[in-house]
Chains A and B, each alone.
Chain A
Amino acid sequence: MAFVFFAYFAVVSIVAGILTVSLKNPVQCGLALLALLLHVSGLFVMLNAEFLWAVQVIVYAGAILVLYLFVLMLLNLKTDDRYFHARTPYLLAPAVVGLIYLLFLLMRSPFSGSRGDASTAAVLLNGDAHAVGIKMFSDYLLQFEIIGVFLTGAIVGAIVLAKAPRSIETRRDA
């Protein structure tokens, strides 16, 4: 049963990713990206990461994607005829060959390593959000604060960049 769900989420997210980079209309690309994000969040549920699932749906699909669609509709883009790079086939062929070689190497790798203390049973005892919170606010507190400062800087930068520049006349009056 788990395999069926995994196959569904994996196949739909890959197809949605390919549609995102290949569709012509930018709004349709945004909707394909929405499908990708929701199915990736399904993969998170299969990996016992319920808190990340909620964050993915709320922050990615709810906030970031709406921002993209809002800007797309604000700009009212015309679809160009030349929406791909001129040398697309020459880029596509090495990418596909490289991907096949990469998958071949990944399938042969054993992927073993030292195990941590968060086994599935330990995480399920109090829930994933509890485990993430304990780890985030003990070992990663400094990084959490840095991310807060980073996001504040990003918001201020975005507002300063996107603000309409004042004309010279009004600047002289002020």
Chain B
Amino acid sequence: MIPLSAYVAVSAILFTTGLLGVLIRRNFIIVLMSVEIMLNAATINLVAFSHYLESMQGQIVALFIIAIAAGEAAIGLAIIIVVFRGKISTNVDEMNLLKW
């Protein structure tokens, strides 16, 4: 029997990886992919607790997370296309139009 802490540890490592990716990568698309890694880490946590505490709620919230990830990907990629059309760059350091 695999202990719950093992799943929680995998989830913590994946979440830290995604957080680092958001902080250190400069390409906006890779930043969005790192957000997906963080959402997946949260989903692993929810499903693991749902299994070990014998409740269905974790899996329901995990489904909602997947739906929200789909919406986030659609909006984020649309924003990338708009920015790329104007500036020919997806580097987050060069996206400073809203900064005043």
Contacts and interface: CB of A to CB of B under 8 A. Distances in A.
Contact of B10 (A10, A30, A56, A143): A10
A88 B24 contact: yes
B13 interface: yes
Contacts, number: 227
Chain A residues touching B, majority SS: helix
Contacts of A153: 71
A158 B55 contact: no
A91 B18 CA distance: 13
Interface string B21-59: 101111101101110110010011001111111111101
Contacts of B50: 47, 49, 118
Contacts of B62: 49, 52
Contact of B26 (A14, A48, A82, A106): A82
B72 to A, nearest CB: 8
Interface string B75-95: 101111110110000110000
Contacts of A132: 56, 59-60, 63
B14 A13 contact: yes
A170 interface: no
Contact of A68 (B7, B16, B21, B32): B32
A103 B8 CA distance: 9
Contact of A84 (B4, B24, B36, B60): B24
A162 B85 CA distance: 10
B20 A92 contact: yes
Given A20-B21, A52-B62, 13 more contacts: A14-B13, A17-B18, A18-B17, A36-B37, A64-B36, A85-B24, A92-B20, A95-B20, A111-B52, A136-B63, A151-B71, A161-B79, A161-B82
